[in-house]
Each structure stands twice: as structure tokens, then as C-alpha cells.
Structure 1
Amino acid sequence: MSDTHAHSVAFVRETEIPASPPPYAATGPVKWMRENLFATPANALLTLVSIYVVYLVLAVVLPWILNGVWTTSSLSECREVLQGKTGACFSVLSERWNQLLFGFQYPSEFYWRPTLALVLFFIAAAPVLFFDLPRKLLIFTALFPFIAYWLIWGGPVMVPVVALLGFLGGFLVYQRFVQGSFAAGFFGGIFAAFVIWYLGGWLVPDAPVDSDGVVGNFLLPAVPSRQLGGFMLNMMLGVTCVSLSIPIGIALALGRQSSMPLIKIVCVVFIEFVRGVPLITLLFVASVMLSYFFPPESNVDLFLRVVIMITMFASAYIAEVIRGGLAALPKGQYEGADSLGLDYAQATRLIILPQALKISIPGIVNVAVGLFKDTTLVSVISMFDLVGMIRGPILASTEWNGVYWELLGFAALLFFVVCYGISQYSQWLERRLATDHR
């Protein structure tokens, strides 16, 4: 074969050429910026304007934070240390942190009790929030409300024990009637629990204290409800009212769709009335009028009255959210439950409610976040929560009169951490339960 013919044969590679990396502009941060910040001329202009606005804000805020003073005992000393420079007076936080978190009347030697209750709360909430954990942990979850009550308020241990027996009795009533009527079993159980609860003295948390500071027959001194305050009070109201309003809201939503006219009318009137009244009005009712609905001899403290009113308020809104979830279910789900021979309680518990609650997660979280922030309204009825502490004892003192941004910023940070955590958990739960997209 000639050399000319040999050079005319095409060359065929026996190995594959390794893939070249993508261009730098088509991957990584550059790609993200091109797609999200500079996709169009208008987006690029808005991005530049936003960067400039952020720069202006940080140019003022960062020196104020970095030059902050933490060790003085009054606002005048802060100004002397700063000597005209821009800087925050964070000394109010380092000196009054205990009042911001626990109130100004809760005994300082008992700070460990609400702190321990908070730690136990995360342990008790874990098996409810993350359902991969062992179901046996739910036993501690059921016991936690009574343990937390005894830790925070103190007093004789028989008060939470009798209250626990009341709820056990209510559960037995529910088990007895659940085969016949879901609504009768639920409300019958609540009634039985309330009766034994009341007989156990739960409505009188301000128990008398003896000369040694020991109440009744136990070693944990009592702390009256009027001494609760600070962010602890906001957390207690938020957790208690959200926990109570969800099951009551479910019962109201089911009652509104009931075929029994009396139950439906009662639920509709309750929901529409409560949703038409501002929360601050209900708080004034709790402060002034609600005690008239209890026997004259009972001493119903303000905390319990506020819990009742906020729970009623949140239950009405959650009932409407869940009713929307129930209405979103196709009719075939109800017909499928009937074809399986399930009664109303079984179909509701096993088929209808799980799907409706999954649909209602964003709305329920929205109500929970709004309710937690609305707990600051209790300051208008002389309850010294976090905002009440700032507006009242702290700013009224001569040492810190004039410190606003530091205190309100600290309050905003605490509420943001809690509300952002709730929001992130709800998004995780939605992704976890999104079985219809798999």
C-alpha cells in the first residue's frame, strides 16, 4: 500500500476522550448569580439598588452593634463610655436579662424550675414532632403538662396528680362512647376531665404557704401566677394555647360539618362569634368578666382566664383552617370509607383527618405563629410578659429610661427565633408528608 493511500484512511480512537469540565460561567456561584440576580437588565438594576440599600443599612447598624457597651450600670454611664461615638447600650440586657426572661417577681432561687421545664418540653415534644422516634416516649409527653405545672407553680404534688386522674377519667369516657358517637365521646371526656380537675383544686393555684415556705405536704414552694413574667410567660401561653386549640379546633370543624343540627348550630355560632371579636377584647373579658362564670368561692387566677380566652380565639381560626382541609378532600374518600364498612369515628380517624390535617399544615402553622406573637397583648391587662416588662418596670426605672432599640431588638430576636423555628419545622413536615408527589 502506498504512503498516499495510508494517510487517506480515517483515524479511529480506541479510548474515550475524558469529559471536559463545564465553563466557569455555567456552574457554581456565577451561574446562580446570572440566573437569579442578573438574568435581565431590570433584575440587574434592582440587584445593584438592593446592594446599595443594604450597604447603607449596614454602615449604620454594624458600628452601633460593634461599639456596644455591656458592663455599665445605667444609660448615663454608657454615654460616658461611648463619649459621643455611635454605639448600643447592651448593658441593659446584661443587667436585666433575668427580668426579661423570668419577670421581676419570680424568685431568682427558683429560676432552675422553668429552665428545667423548658428542657423537658423539648424532650416531650420530640416524639410528637418527629414521628420516627419510639412511640413509648409518648408516655412522657402525656405526663409533661402535669410535671411542668408542678415545676413552675410548685405547691402540693397532689394537685397535678388529681388533674392527671381527671384526664384519665375523661379518656375512659371517650373510649366508652367512641364506638357510638365521636362528638359525644370527645365532649363527654372533656366534661369528666374538667369535673375532676376542678374538684382537685386546679382552679386555685395560689395555695397558702406556711412559715417555712413549703406548701402542703411537699418540698417544692409555691409561686403564685401573678409572679410569672418575661419571655417565660409568652412561651407558657403560646405552648399551652396552641396545644389546646388544635384538638378543640378539630372538634369544632367536625361539628360544623355534622349532620346533627344542634351540634352544627352551636359550632357555627361559636366560630363566627369568636372570629368577629378582636383578641384584645377577649383579653379584657378574661380580666374583668370571666370570673363571674365560675362559682363565687373559686379563685380563678388571671393566667387560667387568659389561657381560656386565647384558646377559644385560636380554636375558632384553626377550625376554619381544618374545615378548608376537609372541603379539599374529594368525595371519593368518604365513599371509599363507607365501602370499607367503617363507621363515622373510624373513617374520620383513619382516612379523613390524616389527609385533611396534611393539607391544613400551612394554615395551622400560620395561626400558631400569629398566636404566639399575639401573646404580647396580655401586657394591656397588667401581665408583665416580655413586652410588658420592657414597657413597664425596665423603662420606668431611672437607670434605663431612654433605652429602646436594644430592648425591643432583643425581644424581636427572641420572637424571630421561635417563629422561624416553627416555620422551618412546618416546611420539613410538608416535605416529609408529600407522598402524593413521589
Structure 2
Amino acid sequence: MSTNQASFVRASMIEASPAPSLESGAVSWLRKNLFATPKDTALTIISLLILAWLVPPAIQWLFIDAAWSGGGRGVCATLSQGGSQPEGWSGACWAFVNAKFAQFLFGRYPLDERWRPALVGILFVLLLVPMLIPRIPYKGLNALLLLVALPILSAILLPGGWFGLTYVETPLWGGLMVTLVLSFVGIAVSLPLGILLALGRRSNMPVIKMLCTVFIEVIRGVPLITVLFMASVMLPLFLPQGVTFDKFLRALIGVSLFASAYMAEVVRGGLQAIPKGQYEGADSLGLSFWQKMGFIVLPQALKLVIPGIVNTFIGLFKDTSLVSIIGMFDLLGIVRLNFSDTNWATAVTPLTGLIFAGFVFWLFCFGMSRYSGFMERLLDRSQR
């Protein structure tokens, strides 16, 4: 190459030019998501006006005019400084939530024995968090401790009566403890039982298929209140004389069976979505039925129905509030029970308690929803 020709060849790449200001940053996001068309612009403006109308009064009532500490209804029955609430009432009565917080967690569980549910709760968190993080090893041991050892330990600690522990009857249980126990047991039982029911409904054996179909359709055809009522009132009528079950155990059985029927249909939808070639390929390898399902079909089917599974879990978590029909007090039930306390009888107490209960329910449900999205993205790499 001659010297003149070499002078036209660059020795380095041209540096990248910055993106246009309208195609990057916050301005670009606003233009694409909120003001892309005249219709989007109008809806955005209307939404902002609604928020400007609702949010400031809500913040004023929830935080600025709220009563945060104190004892008795007097702290919520006076107009806060600079407040604007009529009839002499303050904003939200968070002092009521603060005073009743321990009861909202443990119900009427004896004060000197509350270390037992607190210990169970700490162990639950310590075992659940590593189970949910994919990078942490020893998942088999973790699952064994969470799903086998912890329930056995909880059955010893919570009711007591063993190893010198004071017996605490289940009617004294309540609050968030009951909500978490019901939902955890319901989730742990409904998923494997739902898988078995879904496989049974697709079975080629007529008796198994009929029994699973009848069970699923009967349970799905009645509301949970009916199932709980039958488990609490009618179940003892079918037992031998002198044989009985604890009322809380009946609620656990009713909630678990109810969730299992819905879980079975979710899993069945995933099984039907798997191409027939997957089944035939497993058969051609000489795999048994359970090997085919455990190694080939179910991993693909469960990955497809993660949103439906988590949706069932969220519905189960919220439906635990229906155990009040049989005299058990979950978080919502114990909050409503405290409305009758004359020491806190104000016009703002019920709404404050319901907002607190709703926020706790939303926090758990939102956490399950976000983790579901994380698992979907993690397991969907082969499809991208």
C-alpha cells in the first residue's frame, strides 16, 4: 500500500455519539409511556388530577394528623395541631395499632409463652429465605428442615403439653400467627396433593379418574365457608363416639383440601400444554410413569403455570380470614375483635385497624407476586 493510500485509512474507531436527548433518559420514558398519543396524554392528565385530589388528603389523614402514641381513646379524640378533621377527631389512630400490636401478632396467646411462636417465626424466616435464593446450596437439606423438621417442632412448641411446656389451647391462638400457620400448611399440602389429583384426573384408570374428578368438582363447587363449616360442625358427626379433632386442625384440613382442588386444575392446565412428543419421547426411552412425570413432564408443566400456582397461593393466604366462621381469629379477625374495646372506641379506630390489616395482607401478597415474577424470568431463559 502506498503512502497516499495509507493516509486515508483510520488507525482508530470513531467514538460513539451520544443518543438524541429525546430518545434517552426521563424525557424519552415520559414521551413513550405517558404522552405517546393524544389519548395517552389525556388519560395521563386525568390520572394526575385524580391523584392530586386524593393523595394530599390521604397523607394528611394517615400521617400528619395521625395520633402515633399514647394510651386510650383520648389520644385519638382530639384535633391534632394544625389538623383539619371535623368533630374533634384526629387523623389515623396509629396509637391503637401500637397498643394492640402484640395481640395482632399472637392473638390471646399467654404473654409469658409468646416466646414459643416468636421462636417458630424466627426459624421459619431463617429457613425460608435461603430456600428462596437460588445461589444458596444444600437445597435438599433446607427443604427437609423447612417442610419436615419445622412442622414437627411447631407442633411441639405452639400447643405445648410436651417436655414441660404449658398447654395452650388453639382457641387462644390468633392474629398473624394463625394466618401464617394456615397459609403455610395449606400451601405445603395443596401443591403436592394438587399434583396427584391432576395426574389422577388424567389417569387411564377409570376408578382413579372418577374419584379425582368427583373430589375436584365437589370442592370447587362450594365456597370455602361451607367447607370450613362442614369440617368444624359436621365432621365430628361421622367420627366414632369419643373421637374428636381440634377445631384448628379441622380448619387446616378444610383449607388444605379446598386449595388442593384449585391447584389440581392449575397443574392439569400445565400438563395439557406439554406437547405429546414429550410424552412419547419419554416412553421411547423406557421410563416408567413416575420417572416420565418427575423428570420430563412435570418440570416443564409447573414452569408454565407458575402464575396460576402463585395466584392460588395468594387467594389461599387471603381466604384464611374466613376461619372466623368457626371461631378462630386470624389477623383480620383479631383486629375486628379489638374494635369492641371501649378504651379505644373512636370514630377513626376501625378504619385505622382495617388499613393496617389490609397493608399486612398486601405486603405478603405483593411479596409472593414479585417472587413469582423473579422465578418466571429465571426459568424462562431457554425460551428467550
Per the normalisation by structure 1, the TM-score is 0.79
Give 1:116's aligned residue.
Answer: 119
* Aligned 8 A contact 2:336 2:350 in 1: no
Q: 1:93 aligns with which of 72, 97, 107?
A: 97
Between structure 1 and structure 2, the one with the greater Rg is 1
Measure, in 2, the Cα distance between the counterparts of 1:123 and 1:338.
41
Give CA-to-partner distance per residue, 1:77-127, whole Å, 9 cap, x none. 322252764322111011111111111x20112222212211211233345
Partner AA of 2:124 in structure 1: F
Partner secondary structure for residue 82 of structure 1: coil
Measure, in 2, the Cα distance between the counterparts of 1:347 and 1:11.
65
* Aligned 8 A contact 2:270 2:305 in 1: yes
Give 2:21's aligned residue.
Answer: 24
Alignment of 1:154-303 (within 5 A): 154-156=160-162, 218-303=163-248
Give 2:270's aligned residue.
Answer: 325
Q: CA deviation at 1:41?
A: 1.2
Measure, in 1, the Cα distance between the counterparts of 2:126 and 2:25.
40
* Aligned 8 A contact 2:131 2:142 in 1: no
Give CA-to-partner distance per residue, 1:353-408, whole Å, 9 cap, x none. 1111111211111111001101111112221112212222x111112233122101
Give 1:433's aligned residue.
Answer: 379
Q: CA deviation at 1:352?
A: 1.3
Change (3 A) 1:353 1:20: closer
Partner AA of 1:93 in structure 2: V
Measure, in 2, the Cα distance between the counterparts of 1:398 and 1:300.
35
Q: 2:326 aligns with which of 364, 373, 381?
A: 381
Measure, in 2, the Cα distance between the counterparts of 1:250 and 1:293.
28
Give 2:42's aligned residue.
Answer: 45
Matched, 1:59 2:63: no
* Aligned 8 A contact 2:219 2:258 in 1: yes
Could you list the runs of 5+ residues in structure 2 that have no partner in the other structure?
1-6, 86-90
Give CA-to-partner distance per residue, 1:316-345, whole Å, 9 cap, x none. 000001011111111111111111011111
Alignment of 1:358-369 (within 5 A): 358-369=303-314
Q: How many residues align?
A: 366
Give 1:3's aligned residue.
Answer: none
Give 1:70's aligned residue.
Answer: 68
Matched, 1:153 2:146: no
Higher relative contact order (CA 8 A, sep 6+): 2
Q: 2:256 aligns with which of 311, 318, 321?
A: 311
Partner secondary structure for residue 243 of structure 1: helix
Measure, in 2, the Cα distance between the counterparts of 1:293 and 1:13.
91
Measure, in 1, the Cα distance between the counterparts of 2:363 and 2:293.
35
Q: CA deviation at 1:13?
A: 7.4
Measure, in 2, the Cα distance between the counterparts of 1:58 and 1:126.
35
* Aligned 8 A contact 2:67 2:75 in 1: no
* Aligned 8 A contact 1:238 1:372 in 2: yes
Partner AA of 1:413 in structure 2: F
Q: 1:417 aligns with which of 349, 363, 380?
A: 363
Q: CA deviation at 1:153?
A: 1.6
Q: 1:351 aligns with which of 292, 296, 302?
A: 296
* Aligned 8 A contact 1:127 1:138 in 2: no
Partner AA of 1:283 in structure 2: L
Q: CA deviation at 1:155?
A: 2.0
Q: CA deviation at 1:18?
A: 3.5
Change (3 A) 1:42 1:237: same
Matched, 1:395 2:339: yes
Measure, in 2, the Cα distance between the counterparts of 1:53 and 1:89.
26
Give 1:370's aligned residue.
Answer: 315
Q: CA deviation at 1:284?
A: 1.2
Give 2:150's aligned residue.
Answer: 144
Measure, in 2, the Cα distance between the counterparts of 1:235 and 1:14.
67
Measure, in 1, the Cα distance between the counterparts of 2:193 and 2:15.
64
Partner secondary structure for residue 277 of structure 1: coil
Q: CA deviation at 1:235?
A: 0.9
Measure, in 1, the Cα distance between the counterparts of 2:240 and 2:204.
35
Measure, in 2, the Cα distance between the counterparts of 1:338 and 1:137.
33
Partner AA of 1:69 in structure 2: A
Give CA-to-partner distance per residue, 1:22-41, whole Å, 9 cap, x none. 23222111110010011111
Q: CA deviation at 1:68?
A: 1.1
Give 1:195's aligned residue.
Answer: none
Per the normalisation by structure 2, the TM-score is 0.90
Measure, in 2, the Cα distance between the counterparts of 1:384 and 1:136.
34
Q: Percent identity?
A: 45
Q: CA deviation at 1:242?
A: 1.1
Of stretches 294-303 and 358-367 in structure 1, the one that deviates more from structure 2 is: 294-303
